[in-house]
């Protein structure tokens, strides 16, 4: 089924609120004609493409605003359709009024992301580039911005295309052998010959998935939960790291009940910090809810900052919590080192601090950088797959490849392995938005000039 998307859409493209200017954007066959109906100035259908025209927007006889109108004629536009952008004064009322006029005159209100969707459907960008546009908008640090820009430049697309190319070569060779057993130009592929090729591909994809952990960290930051018993100084540590008094600190046990969040930029990587309620047996309903939230936070965290008190011996509660977080990325923070030492400590990854005096905080930051950045994130190589959807499809690809390897190892007929290789090919296709059944055949046969 072919989806017709030739109606003209319109939306306010700038942030909602007061600003110097607002932009109303239209895309579609009637974008210029619709704008002409509201616009007094030059006839926009006769102006050159990619130019700006001065004039006024009118609602019947009433002048609404003085505007600059940019006209972009297809196909060299963001959506590959005619695009008009009306730059008006940045008031909420004015922008809404102009939007309303475009709708009255034949445009349809665009859905969220519909301009980008059209750019994708009209073949201007692939799916990974469309997603990168969202990533650019959401970027939280320089590193995540440059990663998103790499995506927009099509680096992820190229990465996937290359993997598909490898896969296609194997599939095409198998196909040729099945369909044309007498065809001898093509390397005869037995299980023994395709096996190393499949293994090679598995290897490549495993490496990409492994690297994707860093991609996720660059993009979303390190989700860090500050965990510990009541009163050990978790909120004080949050405040010291944030360099502001965000969380309430008192000497009353159970001060923090709801999670308090904040983030800091650590050498380009964002640390998403979460201060949690001290975990202990409690009968207080509100505190209990807070403690459950703390346990949830442990599950979701990429990193646990586990706080203990230097001035007290390790308690049973501490030990229980240590056991609970044992298999997580964890740094043990020995806090209150300004007080007498009563704690016998010899933890893996321990850092001594005084959250009160703000000492040891830099050591902690360096430790985190070392754990997450050291040698692992190469700022120049940014083909990190960071999008959760892409990672999920790569996992699908990998499991299909493993199944095909299994079929080969079990010496099944080669078409059994081929079925799995094809589903791996489709999973990769889903990443870039190419899922049509015909494209596999087209691409395969374009590679082999069989002449039959
Ligand atoms: N001497 C000293 N006192 C500290 C230090 N860090 C925190 N405190 C004190 O310890 C008490 C508890 O600190 P909080 O930061 O509220 O502790 P918490 O772990 O968030 O406590 P809950 O929210 O109740 O779980 C306060 O009186 C702080 O001033 C430190 O490094 N040295
Ligand atoms: Mg607290």
Residue nearest to atom 23 of ligand 1 (CA): 256
Q: Residue 273: inside a domain, yes or no?
A: yes
Q: Side-chain half-sphere of 42: how many Cα atoms within 13 Å?
A: 13
**Mean predicted lDDT score pLDDT of the chain:** 85
Domain finish residue from 77, 103, 124:
124
How much distance in Å is there from the Cα of 233 to the middle of ligand 1?
A: 3
pLDDT tens, position by position, 136-165: 877 777 777 877 777 777 788 888 989 999
Cβ(256) – ligand 1 distance below 6 Å: yes
Question: What's the average model confidence in pLDDT over 213-228?
Answer: 83
| Domain match, 200 and 224 both | no
| Domain match, 400 and 368 both | no
Helix (H) or strand (E) holding 194: helix 191-220
How large is the greatest C-alpha to C-alpha distance in the chain, in angstroms? 87
pLDDT, residue 266, reads 83
Cβ(231) – ligand 1 distance below 6 Å: yes
How much distance in Å is there from the Cα of 223 to the middle of ligand 1?
A: 22
What is residue 30's DSSP assignment? T
CATH code, domain carrying 172: 1.20.120.430
Beta bridge partners of 354: 359
| Domain match, 251 and 335 both | yes
Beta bridge partners of 320: none
How much distance in Å is there from the Cα of 302 to the middle of ligand 1?
A: 24
| Domain match, 232 and 175 both | no
CATH code, domain carrying 76: 3.30.1360.120
Question: What's the average model confidence in pLDDT over 3-22?
Answer: 79
Beta bridge partners of 26: 10, 84
| Domain match, 400 and 366 both | no
Collapse the DSSP code of 218 into the 3-class scheme (helix H, G, I; strand E, B; otherwise coil) and give the result.
helix
Residue nearest to atom 1 of ligand 1 (CA): 336
Measured from the Cα of 252, ligand 1's closest atom is 24
**What is the 3-state secondary structure of 293-313?**
HHHHHHHHCCEEEEEEECCCC
- The rounded distance, in Å, linking the Cα atoms of 50 and 27 is 14
Residue 178 has pLDDT above 70, yes or no: no
| Domain match, 235 and 333 both | yes
Measured from the Cα of 253, ligand 1's closest atom is 24
Which tokens sit at 375? 């040698």
Q: Residue 4: inside a domain, yes or no?
A: no
Closest C-alpha among 61, 215, 247, 78 to residue 148: 215
Question: What's the average model confidence in pLDDT over 215-224?
Answer: 82
Which tokens sit at 149? 């820009």
Q: Any idea of the CA torsion for 316, 322, 324, 328, to the nearest 10 degrees?
A: 180
| Domain match, 334 and 350 both | yes
Contact 420, 400 (CB under 8 A): yes
> What are the DSSP E strand ranges found in 158-291?
222-228, 260-266, 269-275
Contact 148, 154 (CB under 8 A): no
Question: What's the average model confidence in pLDDT over 55-73?
Answer: 95
Domain finish residue from 84, 106, 124:
124
Q: Residue 197: inside a domain, yes or no?
A: yes
How much distance in Å is there from the Cα of 366 to the middle of ligand 2?
A: 24
- The rounded distance, in Å, linking the Cα atoms of 273 and 141 is 15
How much distance in Å is there from the Cα of 282 to the middle of ligand 2?
A: 15
Q: How many domains does the chain have?
A: 3
Question: What's the average model confidence in pLDDT over 304-324?
Answer: 92
How much distance in Å is there from the Cα of 230 to the middle of ligand 2?
A: 7
Helix (H) or strand (E) holding 414: helix 414-432
pLDDT, residue 400, reads 96
Q: How many CB atoms lie within 10 A of CB 246?
A: 16
> pLDDT confidence of 169, banded at 50, 70, 90?
confident
Residue nearest to atom 9 of ligand 1 (CA): 233
Cβ(282) – ligand 1 distance below 6 Å: no
Residues near ligand 2 ion, CB 5 Å cutoff? 234-235, 255-256
pLDDT, residue 179, reads 63
What is residue 53's DSSP assignment? E
Mutate to test the pocket of ligand 1, among 241, 244, 248, 249 (most ligand atoms within 8 A of CB): 249
pLDDT, residue 439, reads 63
Residue nearest to atom 30 of ligand 1 (CA): 336
How much distance in Å is there from the Cα of 236 to the middle of ligand 1?
A: 6
Q: Residue 149: inside a domain, yes or no?
A: no
> pLDDT confidence of 24, banded at 50, 70, 90?
very high
pLDDT tens, position by position, 384-410: 777 778 888 899 999 999 999 999 898
Cβ(232) – ligand 1 distance below 6 Å: yes
How much distance in Å is there from the Cα of 336 to the middle of ligand 1?
A: 8
Mutate to test the pocket of ligand 1, among 236, 238, 273, 356 (most ligand atoms within 8 A of CB): 236
Which tokens sit at 355? 């959250």
Cβ(249) – ligand 1 distance below 6 Å: yes
| Domain match, 358 and 292 both | yes
Cβ(278) – ligand 1 distance below 6 Å: yes
pLDDT, residue 450, reads 43
| Domain match, 67 and 110 both | yes
Mutate to test the pocket of ligand 1, among 355, 358, 359, 364 (most ligand atoms within 8 A of CB): 355
Beta bridge partners of 69: 53, 86
Residue 187 has pLDDT above 70, yes or no: no
How much distance in Å is there from the Cα of 300 to the middle of ligand 1?
A: 24
> pLDDT confidence of 2, banded at 50, 70, 90?
very low
The boundaries of the domain holding residue 173 are 155-216+384-447
Measured from the Cα of 355, ligand 1's closest atom is 31
Q: Residue 329: inside a domain, yes or no?
A: yes
Domain finish residue from 306, 341, 372:
372
pLDDT, residue 378, reads 52
């Amino acid at each position: 089924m072919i989806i017709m998307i030739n109606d003209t859409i319109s939306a306010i493209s700038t942030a909602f609120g007061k600003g110097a200017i607002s932009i109303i954007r239209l895309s579609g066959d009637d974008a210029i004609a619709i704008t002409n109906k509201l616009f007094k100035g030059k006839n926009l259908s006769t102006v050159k493409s990619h130019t700006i025209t001065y004039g006024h927007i009118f609602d019947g006889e009433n002048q609404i605003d003085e505007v600059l109108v940019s006209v972009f004629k297809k196909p060299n536009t963001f959506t590959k359709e005619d695009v008009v952008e009306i730059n008006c004064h940045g008031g909420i009322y004015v922008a809404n009024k102009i939007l309303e006029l475009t709708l009255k005159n034949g445009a349809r209100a665009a859905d969220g992301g519909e301009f980008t969707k059209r750019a994708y459907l009209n073949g201007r960008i692939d799916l990974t580039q469309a997603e990168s546009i969202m990533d650019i908008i959401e970027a939280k640090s320089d590193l995540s911005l440059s990663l998103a820009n790499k995506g927009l430049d099509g680096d992820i697309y190229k990465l996937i295309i290359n993997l598909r190319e490898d896969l296609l070569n194997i599939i095409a060779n198998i196909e040729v052998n099945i369909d044309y057993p007498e065809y001898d130009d093509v390397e005869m592929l037995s299980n023994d010959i395709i096996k190393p090729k499949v293994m090679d591909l598995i290897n490549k994809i495993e490496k990409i998935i492994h690297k994707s952990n860093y991609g996720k960290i660059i993009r979303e930051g390190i989700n860090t939960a500050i965990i510990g018993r009541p009163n050990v100084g978790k909120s004080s540590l949050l405040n010291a790291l944030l360099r502001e008094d965000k969380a309430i600190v008192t000497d009353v046990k159970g001060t923090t009940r709801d999670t308090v969040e904040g983030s800091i930029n650590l050498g380009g990587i964002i640390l998403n910090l979460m201060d949690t309620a001290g975990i202990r047996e409690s009968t207080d309903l509100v505190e209990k809810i807070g403690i459950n939230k703390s346990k949830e936070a442990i599950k979701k965290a990429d990193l646990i900052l586990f706080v203990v008190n230097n001035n007290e011996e390790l308690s049973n509660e501490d030990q229980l919590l240590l056991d609970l977080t044992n298999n997580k990325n964890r740094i043990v923070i020995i806090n209150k080192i300004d007080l007498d030492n009563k704690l016998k400590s010899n933890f893996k990854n321990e850092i001594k601090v005084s959250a009160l005096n703000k000492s040891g905080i830099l050591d902690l930051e360096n430790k985190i950088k070392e754990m997450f950045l050291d040698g692992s994130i190469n700022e120049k190589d940014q083909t990190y797959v960071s999008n959760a959807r892409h990672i999920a499809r790569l996992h699908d690809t990998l499991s299909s490849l493993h199944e095909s390897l299994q079929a080969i190892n079990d010496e099944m007929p080669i078409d059994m392995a081929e079925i799995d290789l094809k589903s791996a090919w489709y999973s990769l296709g889903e990443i870039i938005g190419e899922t049509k059944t015909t494209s596999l055949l087209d691409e395969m046969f374009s590679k082999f000039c069989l002449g039959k």
